[in-house]
Amino acid sequence: MANGTAFLGAARPTGAEKTSSVVKTVYLIRHGEALHNVLEQQAKHGAAAEAHALGLSKGTAQFNALVVEARRRVLNDETLADAELTTAGEAQAEDARRDVEMLAAKYGLPLPTRVLVSPLQRALQTAGIIFPDHPCVQVHSELRERRTGLPCDQPSSPKMMKNSPSFSSFDFSDILSEEEATYSEEGIRGGFFEQEEGIRVEETGCMMTGRRVQNRSISSMSDIDGLEDASQLRLRTFQLIDLLSKLEDEALCVVTHKGYLRELERGPFGQSKAPEFGTAEVRVYDVLLSTDGLATSLRYCRSESSFATAPVPAELISRTAARLMGA
């Protein structure tokens, strides 16, 4: 692996400077390969072959329509609700664990004292493999993938996941308290969200039943009503900056999803040219949080070339925070 390093110019603050600025080492990790990732790719390749057999050229409207329809058939499959890692995905997570250990040893990076993870099962599994005995793994709903309405992006009930032996040591308190505070028993009956069958999600073309899927439950009404586009997801990623500023840890890890990481890097982290994460890829940033705004610097990525860093003005952070609070 190569080190795409670009170090933050400012030294880590000491003494009186601590009150106005702090630098944190943030590991970003995408989950390993999940079942829906494999089936989606197979569907795309199959549709492309079918299109070629029909004499359709790549890039034409007819070609694209066949590929899109094939993807939708897979992603609308309710048996893929909260999709799990594949065997290959588990192996990728093992590789990521070794990557984290290598980075700490080779480049003198501090190991994360806190792990923040999405509530979707593929991210939870990845975090469990990379940090099997970590004492502080916290599950946060704001780190989940974009709300698409698709079964694969619907998190399982946090109460059920908490009771799984694989995740029993994880801290679900944030997401459990959030669910309890937001939804009354009228919204969730008998452990499963009761909704009339045939709810149509227009943005994705997905048909959802709101019924039991693989003995899991839809974790909240917002999974159906709170669909997001990319700009809304980018706005949500600013919540991570607020969380980082509140935590005392100097080194943290975030285990999440491709879409979330794309909007985090290209939005709050100011990396407009950041390529999308590969499965179980690890990147490391220095993140400077100060009263003057936010600045990030890439310390490590797989690629030989690092991408340019850019500060995010305090005015943008303030405006975004105001929008998040509904002001």
Residue type for 145, please? E
Structure tokens at 180: 């309890």
Strand partners, 189: 192
φ/ψ of 90, rounded to 5, equals -65, -40
Strand partners, 114: 252
* pLDDT lower than 70: segments of the chain: 1-19, 43-48, 50-51, 66-68, 70-71, 179-225, 304-306, 308-327
Residue type for 170, please? F
CA atoms within 13 A on the CB side of 152: 24
Cα torsion for 298, 301, 306, 309, to the nearest 10°? -20
Cβ atoms of 230 and 258 within 8 Å: the answer is no
Residue 258, judged by CB atoms within 10 A of its CB (0-12, 13-18, 19+), counts as middle
What's residue 38's pLDDT?
72
Cβ atoms of 76 and 203 within 8 Å: the answer is no
* Cβ neighbours, 10 Å, residue 24: 20
Q: What counts of helices (H) and strands (E) characterise the chain?
A: 10, 11
Give CA–CA dist 266/269, Å, rounded. 6
CA 137 from centre of chain: 15
pLDDT in tens, 150-205: 888 999 999 999 999 999 999 999 998 876 655 544 443 333 333 333 333 333 33
What's residue 178's pLDDT?
73
3-state SS class at 255: strand
What's residue 207's pLDDT?
28
pLDDT in tens, 221-230: 344 457 999 9
* Cβ neighbours, 10 Å, residue 79: 11
Q: Please, what are the domains in the chain? A: 15-34+85-146+228-324 (3.40.50.1240), 36-80 (no CATH)
State the average pLDDT for the chain.
77
Give CA–CA dist 26/224, Å, rounded. 31
User: What's the whole-model pTM score?
Assistant: 0.75
CA atoms within 13 A on the CB side of 199: 16
Cβ atoms of 188 and 217 within 8 Å: the answer is yes
